Structure 1
Amino acid sequence: MIGAESGPATADTHFGFSTVPLADKQGMVDDVFHKVATRYDLMNDLMSGGLHRLWKSELVSTLNARPGSRGRPYRHLDVAGGTGDVAFRIVDSLGEQAKRIGAKFDRGVAEVTILDINGDMLGVGRERARKRFGDESILDFVQANAESLPLDSSSYDSVTIAFGIRNVPRIDAALREFHRVLRRGGRFLCLEFAPVDRPGLDRIYDAFSFNVIPKLGQIVAGDAEPYQYLVESIRRFPRPDLFASMIEKVGFRRVTHRPMTGGVVNLHSGWKL
């Protein structure tokens, strides 16, 4: 989650507040999410006071995905969404809209793909899909690196990533891949935390982040270290205007970002035109 990280393999990057070899970061991030996979969604509720649900609902509402026809289903890709939290919301939204037009929701009208580099997170997502929909096959689950998507160019109508881009070692490489797999006229949406710089709120936010979240991680997930990294990674992520310029640099147009909850989170948007 740092900017401009497409350097040589010997370059250094950030892992939280630490400096590590760029080539090592992905493995270190993988280890974090192996540790937290089974408690990931519960910890999101505790860390955000449930607000992450509102932020994700706003992402889905802004996306406004519409069911396609049997000749051309709507295709959506959710990156770093292993547990399914965002993708399930999109499936529900597409299903409701399909009902309104008298269509049956199936792969003939929409296809939703969850992509994550971490197999443990995907395992949680598959199990949750079976419980929620009765069948995990309503979605596609793909284990892959966001920096090199094993997907055809110009094949998706929309791409989302929620609270995952800051964990990607080469953010610019991932953004180029998102642009590549989108169809012309497709939309990219990204939810991500940002360093808070509002006087007063910044002190409260820092106190909660550094003093409470790692302790919650220790109590709920049995390990404080992954949550210490996640808190630190937010502070190393580019500020919203800089991240917006990175999105624009890879080819997206009509790039915007909208702060939510006092700027704690931003919803970034870009179009492939």
Structure 2
Amino acid sequence: MTINCKGQLIDLSQPKVMGILNVTPNSFYDGGKYQSESLVLEHVEKMLAEGAHFIDIGAYSSKPNAEFVSEQEEIDRIMPVVESVLKQFPEALLSIDTFRAKVAEVCLENGAALINDIAAGNLDSDMFKTIAKFNVPYIMMHMRGTPNSMQQQTNYEDLVSEMLFYFSKKINEARRLGITDLIIDPGFGFAKTLDQNYEVLQKLELFSVFELPLLMGISRKSMIYKELKIANDEALNGTTVLNTIGLTKGASILRVHDVKEAVQCVKLFQKTNQNG
């Protein structure tokens, strides 16, 4: 199970860690934390040193009811970061967290390696064509509606069955355009209630039917801190517990704020299963 990132084959049968770099002023956990070049580069250096295989850069907060950001403002936020990071760390594999084809295109033209789309093309009809044009790995997430409306769209007859149908359609659409390297993300916290998030986690192994890498993004999310009745800055232990469960159910990539702990989680998981 490999993906091609800028000519480098990445084996995702061995789980990898994706470090989160939010360059938004309003992200739910680390919003406003990395607003200067020096702080960005310091954080990226730390994540790479701790073992992050990918750095996921986002310039538009997708938390519920986040403020609207224009396409140009998103580009203006993200491009200096992409350029600066790749100048300092030219071997870094940058993932761009965007649902806009133009943002994806500009970043790919300037050295980004893959695209992480929370909407799987639903919010920009040009996204799939852009991915096909650049022939890069594409992370497709499950979500209904938009970040502003998603929490009013949690009425499912059979949640996981509907998600499987959603991904089946998206995968077929991508394949018809010649997109080969696909990664699926169940979208924890997106158009799902707290209990629905745990239902998806409980049944996570069912997504292996697609024989594609699976990204798990639960880092410090409300499904952890609301369930435990703690603050999100106290949710690292819960994140590690759920990441471990995800690995046992087939997760290939852990998308996290705390890289060191996730890498340790992967190492211990692999050690436990090395003779399995």
TM normalised by structure 2 equals 0.32
The one of the two structures with greater contact order (alpha-carbon pairs below 8 A, sep at least 6) is 1
More strand by share: 1
TM-score (normalised: structure 1): 0.32
Point out the structure with max Rg over C-alpha. Answer: 1
